[in-house]
Structure 1
């Protein structure tokens, strides 16, 4: 390409490195005509210091060359003037930062990488137009570009100790291949290689040929790429999997998380991406997620003992192992397609500028949107967590509940309550600084809480939320679910950023002005419902109120009441905020759900109503209904399948006014008869290494220790570690692992600790209790 060419594309990878001419920023851009490298030379790394610290800076940096300190027409959020400190190399920047830290000099925005700041300050969020991509001085500016990216799913099978790679599976669009160490007859999709060195060499050749933009996998960085890097290092081989020919770099981040650096390619983990997109599963194992999303699982019979099974297949049936390996790749590929994960990552990047492979990143997403606008307003961000703290700031509002078994309960929900509070009441770091400034125009001010005052005309965050809000409404109209979900996650993260002492904008006056306003809104909403309509609000939680219409209300009347409630409350809030503050209301309450039957349980061993726990028979748009549980045992994985099934069926029967007594009695009898043993298994994870459990050893730890002992006696290696899931039963001799149980099951434990609690959450509201109902069965045993 010539220096005058202009190309549009999407930022893939971003790297920075020191050169003689300063810091070079290296971007790979995905374009319609393939990937293009863009090199931006002669850049500085920058941080800010207070101008009153100039002498301390000069003293601390004495003897260092290659930096300069320049005053800037900027100030921090307290109004103190700042200066910019520029460094010509990354190495020097690290030295400067360390010296200033030791000297106690406050540094502002010192954690932002030059390669990220360059894009951020130009509002480049994924899509980019590059003029002169092949020249020495390319120019980059934002553009709207949607890429077509190519993914390659990768999966390794290894020895039990992962000190040898047995096979590598690769799967992409129209492509599937397994490279297997050993000898045999090659197939169209299977290639035998003589040793590990040749295996890794063939991997590099296959990657170069397929030329993916993104590697995907399951725990792909912390396992597959860590093993690849370790084995290549052990073999003295440079593993070149990027487009730039450089060796693979596995880097450990500041919080212990590993990530991969490859020129022109990214590595994205399926587990992290699902969690980031707010998917929730009982287990994030590939087997479980694939069964849930795809309806199929791994090609191995003994999934819970797959390590030993893999070794057996490698010895006895290597083709079966290769099929298993390739199917694991295909499962990940199909999960990404079914959950639209790549689409979600692209939309998140286009909205926030976050790199596609960024894990989490709510604070970085906030910074990318907020900091360039803050700089243009004449401010730089404060030090991390330097805002006002020590205040008594409550979390989301949870109203005292009225326990009972009800008919006809409506749920009214404030749409994105916290973002709408920020937007309506101008809650904003810059707005707070301007609102507290001496001489601020009183007509421009909006009161917050804990002494906070916001200048509505100088607030930045409300306009960011307005843009996102409009984009989400458009995404919903277009039925673009990944975009809608990405926007929802971003908007809801803003409160967390302002309320976390790990973020640079932390200030309890900001977070308190959101949560306390939320408390006020829910309390006043409840009062208005009861005053104007005469209905009873039986519960409220963060952004929702639960309204009991009375047991005699019909379904059709409930629907009309729901619409009337939402319409009245939205108009009432508009009038209230205009009269009190002269504000336009962006609060929007929606009629969200109608429960034909609804249980608000009591707290255990108390007459008080519980919080964040309820169940109901929810009416669906088509006139049908579904059973919904929130916070009860049915949705908690630390309860046995028996307890969860029985609770679901009991509630189903009671809510539909069907007989339930015989069902409970029969269940108790079947437990004691040993007919339901498979449903008695507890499944819990180890939260830390086994050796760290010394004083308190919960049941899963006791079972895990017995499993380790049994494995040692059998001469087998234990693979139990932090995060391992333990399956165990309670026996007459305490917890024992499922695979090594030696004692009879303690059935009375399951009656007392599993069935009775879930049943007695509901029965007292019917004038019954578990003990009296099943006493005849218990006498038999």
Structure 2
């Protein structure tokens, strides 16, 4: 027996069928080092309606180890079920296929053993290990309980490789907690200088290089591998190199290989499971944390977050320089290689990415490096609770896909305004779930109740049980945890909890979720519509005007210019009165406790809502404003306008920013417009004319509609072919180009004169007219007044 309890953090999880049954394996990070937990002879379970029991039993003889048991559970259709227990998990998949031919669904047969074991014990990432048999770092057949407060210190290594243009491996850099090293292919150059702050080890063959890497992992034993495109590029290339030279890429604990899987819906996208170690890609982690950048290249993110980068020229110069350093100056290549590792580590530290990913695992119940996964996280929380209420889950696809209403977007009233305040509902959809008891089980229960006092009426005749539900309690638990995280200033945990709660409505509306139900998700979104309309009526009865609203936010014009103090005071009074109104209304009319809470968000001293281009109708999700906080600090805010969109040139974005800023601050703008247009025509803004657009498909996929970026990319690769350089755009990517008098031309090979008229009429004029027309001006009148401008 293990003499003391051990707390651990789950790094990886795995299951396998062996002769004795199903085994579950968890690798844990603990204060005493890594521990492997193995649970033997685990029974897997699925469910089938009782009326199909005889059909199931006809398959038992061919599948020894299967057993059918009576249970006190039922389906959403109120049909009783029996449990089908299997010695081996794969037996359930075989049985499910056999029954499917007969039109019989086997329910929950796809829930993997290592996930079900954790969810049924309400374990997410932290575990308390009790008992079991210990053999060094191995613990067998112990008990696991939740340990939600355990946070270990993880050993991290940043990994980066350098290759030739054809992905031939040159070097591998590793920066870890205690070691900084570069493994370089080739012989040590004579009289080469040694780097002072890391080790440079030469390996004569690629096989030796990869075996040295595996030895390093065994010796240093990191918990986490981080990098930039670390799976899709670095690990993939390492595996490719290992396969080519007969080496074993044993980077997992116990010198186990990487378990590679392909994404079923993303061609060429790979998953890499490294036993005992977590692999976190910096790009995926930033996206999971809702961080956005104009480009997710390491150079772009480094420049934006850290104020520095690592570039050694453009794509062509970079590859040529890497090749030159490998052939002529390997220590310099090693410096460049390890620099990438350092930048990734610093980005992770600056953005608290590792802490966020750990807190996300604690919140969702998913493995640390499981990106996306909103449906899996929902199931992790929901399934065990619905089982305890006597229900089993439906299979995916039980309800046919059907459209349902999205968030409410109010028609906007375009124009310029003084003093606009924005109020928004805190976590609108989670608060609707809590308040109105919206829930899949609650919907099933409510639909089968005859006593109106026991149900909550939802939109379009939906009914939800007041007594029997799961999701409101789940949201309440997460909500309280987030409040505690905010008090403790744990931003990573607070963000992870917020993202999880806000994903629940989307999960219920996802056709590939087993709980998909248009009626249930509509009960959330349509309640949001009703709330926004009632809020609009409320504020307009106070003498103000709602000029726009979007899902959970309402923009309120205070009808005249107000001081900042006045605007904030009006906002505070509205917030209090609206929240009080909801509390009293819900208690009086529905007998419900109110968890809806509107908050003050922003005061715009000046605000602009444009029209839809070519129309007099107000646009949606597009506006700009000069915000002022309680301390009087001003900030220009742009949402959805060209200023905030990457498909417009810097010329357009800077023009829009300059024009709006002048109008908001009461500075004359006419001279700015004419001077800007004149400078553009004179070539003084040529560095701002660059379009940067993404090719989302292979270059040869564009046949009928060929947009400018594709034409530019084809010109670029035709040029690359002529000068014997690698083709850059055949598989997609980002292209930079300018519009010339002969059409779009890439920066790599521009020969024609700039088409300045294009930039005036297609970039500056649409922006100017959208802003100036409400003021009685237009771009053509202002610019044509300058003699010879056109």
Go from structure 1 to structure 2 and tell me whether the alpha carbon gap of 1:375 and 1:611 turns closer, same or farther (over 3 Å shift): same
How far apart in 1 are the matches of 2:340 and 2:17? 40
Go from structure 1 to structure 2 and tell me whether the alpha carbon gap of 1:263 and 1:367 turns closer, same or farther (over 3 Å shift): same
Go from structure 1 to structure 2 and tell me whether the alpha carbon gap of 1:662 and 1:713 turns closer, same or farther (over 3 Å shift): same
Aligned mate of 2:498, from 488, 495, 518? 488
Q: 1:753-772: CA deviations, max 9, x gaps?
A: 11111111211122111110
Q: What SS is found at the alignment partner of 1:745?
A: coil
Q: What SS is found at the alignment partner of 1:154?
A: strand
2:375 matches 1:363: yes
Shift of 1:212: 0.7
How far apart in 2 are the matches of 1:715 and 1:388? 54
Q: 1:424-450: CA deviations, max 9, x gaps?
A: 0000001111111245x4322101123
Partner of 2:175: 171
Partner of 1:690: 699
Partner of 1:744: 753
How far apart in 1 are the matches of 2:555 and 2:284? 34
TM-score normalized by structure 1?
0.96
2:648 matches 1:672: no
2:614 matches 1:605: yes
Shift of 1:132: 2.6
Counterparts of 1:447-596 in structure 2 under 5 Å? 447-531=457-541, 533-596=542-605
Aligned mate of 2:151, from 142, 146, 156? 146
How far apart in 1 are the matches of 2:537 and 2:586? 16
Aligned mate of 2:439, from 417, 424, 428? 428
Aligned mate of 1:635, from 629, 637, 644? 644
Shift of 1:214: 0.6
Partner of 1:649: 658
In the alignment, structure 1 segments of 5+ residues that lack a partner are none
How far apart in 1 are the matches of 2:714 and 2:276? 46
How far apart in 2 are the matches of 1:140 and 1:711? 59
Q: What SS is found at the alignment partner of 2:264?
A: coil
Partner of 1:8: 7
TM-score normalized by structure 2?
0.95
For the Cα contact (< 8 Å) 2:123–2:365, is it kept in 1? yes
For the Cα contact (< 8 Å) 1:643–1:754, is it kept in 2? yes
Stretch moving more, 607-616 or 249-258: 249-258
How far apart in 1 are the matches of 2:316 and 2:420? 44
Partner of 1:63: 62
Counterparts of 1:292-311 in structure 2 under 5 Å? 292-302=304-314, 305-311=317-323
Partner of 1:663: 672
Partner of 1:278: 290
Partner of 1:709: 718
Go from structure 1 to structure 2 and tell me whether the alpha carbon gap of 1:58 and 1:707 turns closer, same or farther (over 3 Å shift): farther
Aligned mate of 1:242, from 252, 261, 270? 252
Partner of 1:395: 406
Q: 1:360-413: CA deviations, max 9, x gaps?
A: 0111111111111111111111111423754x6211000011111000000011
Aligned mate of 1:765, from 765, 770, 774? 774
Partner of 1:349: 361
Shift of 1:61: 6.8
How far apart in 1 are the matches of 2:337 and 2:382? 44
Q: 1:479-513: CA deviations, max 9, x gaps?
A: 21111111110010000001111111110111100
How far apart in 2 are the matches of 1:313 and 1:704? 29
How far apart in 1 are the matches of 2:210 and 2:649? 44
2:277 matches 1:268: no
Partner of 1:333: 345
For the Cα contact (< 8 Å) 2:680–2:756, is it kept in 1? yes
How far apart in 1 are the matches of 2:571 and 2:258? 58
How far apart in 1 are the matches of 2:356 and 2:174? 23
Q: What SS is found at the alignment partner of 2:559?
A: coil
Shift of 1:672: 1.5
How far apart in 2 are the matches of 1:547 and 1:250? 53
Q: What SS is found at the alignment partner of 1:314?
A: helix
Shift of 1:340: 0.6
For the Cα contact (< 8 Å) 2:420–2:606, is it kept in 1? yes
Go from structure 1 to structure 2 and tell me whether the alpha carbon gap of 1:740 and 1:42 turns closer, same or farther (over 3 Å shift): same
How far apart in 2 are the matches of 1:621 and 1:209? 55
For the Cα contact (< 8 Å) 2:711–2:744, is it kept in 1? yes
For the Cα contact (< 8 Å) 1:386–1:507, is it kept in 2? no
For the Cα contact (< 8 Å) 1:302–1:309, is it kept in 2? no
Stretch moving more, 103-112 or 192-201: 103-112
Aligned mate of 1:321, from 333, 340, 358? 333
Shift of 1:183: 2.1
In the alignment, structure 2 segments of 5+ residues that lack a partner are none
Go from structure 1 to structure 2 and tell me whether the alpha carbon gap of 1:253 and 1:61 turns closer, same or farther (over 3 Å shift): farther
How far apart in 1 are the matches of 2:212 and 2:288? 33
Shift of 1:263: 2.0
RMSD, matched Cα? 1.7
Go from structure 1 to structure 2 and tell me whether the alpha carbon gap of 1:301 and 1:716 turns closer, same or farther (over 3 Å shift): closer
How far apart in 2 are the matches of 1:234 and 1:682? 41
Partner of 1:193: 203
For the Cα contact (< 8 Å) 1:61–1:99, is it kept in 2? no
Partner of 1:81: 80
Shift of 1:68: 2.6
Shift of 1:110: 2.3
How far apart in 2 are the matches of 1:580 and 1:685? 53
Shift of 1:552: 3.3
Shift of 1:474: 1.6
Q: What SS is found at the alignment partner of 1:494?
A: helix
For the Cα contact (< 8 Å) 1:384–1:505, is it kept in 2? yes
Shift of 1:30: 0.9
Partner of 1:437: 448
Q: What SS is found at the alignment partner of 1:78?
A: coil
Go from structure 1 to structure 2 and tell me whether the alpha carbon gap of 1:341 and 1:557 turns closer, same or farther (over 3 Å shift): same
How far apart in 2 are the matches of 1:632 and 1:121? 48
2:224 matches 1:217: no
For the Cα contact (< 8 Å) 1:385–1:505, is it kept in 2? no
For the Cα contact (< 8 Å) 2:422–2:555, is it kept in 1? yes
How far apart in 2 are the matches of 1:103 and 1:273? 44
2:170 matches 1:159: no
Go from structure 1 to structure 2 and tell me whether the alpha carbon gap of 1:672 and 1:84 turns closer, same or farther (over 3 Å shift): same
For the Cα contact (< 8 Å) 1:61–1:96, is it kept in 2? no
How far apart in 2 are the matches of 1:778 and 1:309? 50
Partner of 1:202: 212
For the Cα contact (< 8 Å) 1:260–1:266, is it kept in 2? no
Go from structure 1 to structure 2 and tell me whether the alpha carbon gap of 1:303 and 1:174 turns closer, same or farther (over 3 Å shift): farther
Partner of 2:128: 129
Partner of 2:398: 386
Stretch moving more, 376-385 or 487-496: 376-385
Shift of 1:138: 1.2
For the Cα contact (< 8 Å) 1:60–1:100, is it kept in 2? no
Partner of 1:288: 300
For the Cα contact (< 8 Å) 2:564–2:632, is it kept in 1? no
How far apart in 2 are the matches of 1:86 and 1:688? 46
Go from structure 1 to structure 2 and tell me whether the alpha carbon gap of 1:723 and 1:491 turns closer, same or farther (over 3 Å shift): farther
Q: What SS is found at the alignment partner of 2:95?
A: helix
